[in-house]
Amino acid sequence: MKNITSINCPLMVEGLVPVDAIPPEHDSSALVADIAVSPECNIRLFNAGDTIFTEGSSADRAYIIESGYVEIFVGSGEDSLQLNVLGPGDIFGEMGIIDASPRSASAKAICPCRCIVVSAAQVAERIESSSPMVRLFISMSLHRNRAYNAYLKTLSTPQVSLPSPAVSEKAYAKNQQYQQILDDIKLESDLQNAVRNDELFLVYQPLLDLNNQRIIGFESLLRWQCPQRGLVAPQQFIALAEETSLILPMGDWILEHACADLQRFQAQLDCIGQSNTDFFISINISVKQFQQPNFFDRLMACTQRHQVNAQQIKLEVTERIFLDEIEAIDSISKCRAAGFEVSLDDFGTGYSSLNYLERCEIDCLKIDRSFIQKLCSSDRAKILVGAIIDIARQLGLPTVAEGIETPAQMAALRAMGCDIGQGFLFSQPLPLTEALGLVGQPLAIAPINPA
């Protein structure tokens, strides 16, 4: 047996316990009471010299050492090479249950050992719930450890040429999932630069009173013009931003620019003699942004800085803010008390919409576009939209239908009593200068046939 301590190894773990450091009379009295441990129990007892698993065998469990010492090695017989000696508190065998690959080394009890068994299922469900980036780093770490174990094994047979551990990584790097995760990491890096380099901009989509087809406000929507990627689709970066802390500086940026643009909308209304204090801008607020302890104070400071009225800003939030229900209700109440309207976006797509309506005062329900798209082709969708509108009406809440694309959809919504409409039928999201040109002007909409 060759000991790895004699090799100049860059991956050596500090604090390696050599075999001769193990007490010759290891106290095994603690194991006596466990002689009758059943196979179904998550405790395993090993005698000195017992093989726990062998290199190349399938892996379905890992072990945590409670007492005793375990040797980890590659190869066999006189040519085996010791990689490590592990003691109480150490974990071994974890590589195989993470990536379901065969064991890359063997494990043997040096003295009587008591180990806790960790099943592959216990680990798999936790890894699957982690982020893709975490899974990537775990996979790459395992891959390199396995490659290095294979590299060390060849040291016992000098006649065999030594492979480079990096060679096998090239095939791994071609994996489609690996490439997707790398793309996401690069996208996040570019998005960080976008916030710093002022690559973001807002576009505005009009909201119409469905009764008189007049514009009563606009929703601000974030866009990203990347120097390298061009115009990046919102669905590519918004979700990523919400998963990271990037949504916080982006949210501040949106608030600042939307409030500044609200001033310009008001100036345009004044210019054409149609001053309107009911005109509003809808701003999407992320869950992380809304949950900041100082969100309300920052919101108030922003409106005061730009001298805009709280009553002209509608905060659009999703049901996810109710993950912390008590805090969400308190924050919504503070915003409403200051004059901000709070709209529940994507209504009908969550699991407890009606429960939230009963517990929390809001100002508007926004019906998700997925229902509107099926409105004229699905009786079920039509019934559900009608029910949402009816519930809102009885609660004294206006409703907004997003994603209106056809005159037939608009006609159906008007017949149901929906108050406000938004969608490509009226206008695509527009740069500020073009949106200003729509203020106070009638929109050209295709004739509507009775539903």
20 DSSP 8-state letter: G
pLDDT tens, residue order, the chain (451 aa): 655 443 333 333 333 444 444 444 444 444 433 433 445 568 899 999 999 999 989 988 899 999 999 999 988 887 788 888 999 989 898 887 777 778 888 999 999 999 998 888 877 767 776 666 676 777 777 767 767 666 666 665 555 454 554 444 444 456 666 677 778 778 888 898 898 888 999 999 999 999 988 999 999 999 999 999 999 999 989 988 988 788 999 999 999 999 999 999 999 999 988 888 889 999 999 989 998 989 999 999 999 999 999 999 999 998 888 877 788 888 999 999 999 999 999 887 766 567 778 878 899 999 999 999 999 999 999 999 999 999 999 999 999 999 999 999 999 999 999 999 999 999 999 999 999 999 988 777 755 444 3
* Whole-number pLDDT of residue 2: 57
> Is residue 110 within 8 Å of 69, Cβ to Cβ?
yes
Pairing verdict, β 51-53 and 106-109: antiparallel
The answer for residues whose C-beta is within 8 angstroms of residue 274's C-beta and 6 or more apart is 439, 440
> Which domains does the chain show, CATH number per domain?
2-129 (2.60.120.10), 199-438 (3.20.20.450)
Give CA separation, 223 vs 201, 218, 220, 369, 429, in Å.
Answer: 5, 15, 10, 20, 10
Pairing verdict, β 420-422 and 399-402: parallel
Measured CA to CA, the distance from residue 402 to residue 427 in angstroms comes to: 12
pTM of the model: 0.70
Q: What are phi and psi of 63, to 5 degrees?
A: -135, 145
Measured CA to CA, the distance from residue 415 to residue 412 in angstroms comes to: 5
Between 234-243 and 176-196, two packed helices, what is the crossing angle to 10 degrees?
80
Give residue 256's identity as a one-letter amino acid code: E
CB neighbours of residue 135 within 10 Å: 17
Measured CA to CA, the distance from residue 172 to residue 398 in angstroms comes to: 54
Collect contacts of 54-57 with beta carbons under 8 A, ≥24 apart: 54/103, 54/106, 55/102, 55/103, 55/104, 55/105, 55/106, 56/102, 56/103, 57/102, 57/103
Task: Report the candidate in 282, 199, 304, 298 with the shortest Cα–Cα distance to residue 248.
Answer: 298
The answer for residues whose C-beta is within 8 angstroms of residue 414's C-beta and 6 or more apart is 210, 211, 448, 451
Q: What is the full DSSP assignment across 280-317?
A: EEEEE--HHHHHSTTHHHHHHHHHHHHT--GGGEEEEE
Give CA separation, 206 vs 154, 178, 353, 373, 423, in Å.
Answer: 69, 41, 26, 18, 8
Helix (H) or strand (E) holding 422: strand 420-422
CB neighbours of residue 209 within 10 Å: 14
* Whole-number pLDDT of residue 20: 46
Give per-residue burial for 312-330: e unless 16+ CB within 10 Å, then b.
Answer: bbbbbbbbbbbeeeeebbe
Measured CA to CA, the distance from residue 449 to residue 35 in angstroms comes to: 84
Structure tokens at 257: 């620019």
The answer for residues whose C-beta is within 8 angstroms of residue 344's C-beta and 6 or more apart is 317, 318, 319, 353, 356, 357, 362, 364, 365, 366
Q: What are phi and psi of 449, to 5 degrees?
A: -85, 145
Measured CA to CA, the distance from residue 54 to residue 81 in angstroms comes to: 13
Measured CA to CA, the distance from residue 194 to residue 186 in angstroms comes to: 12
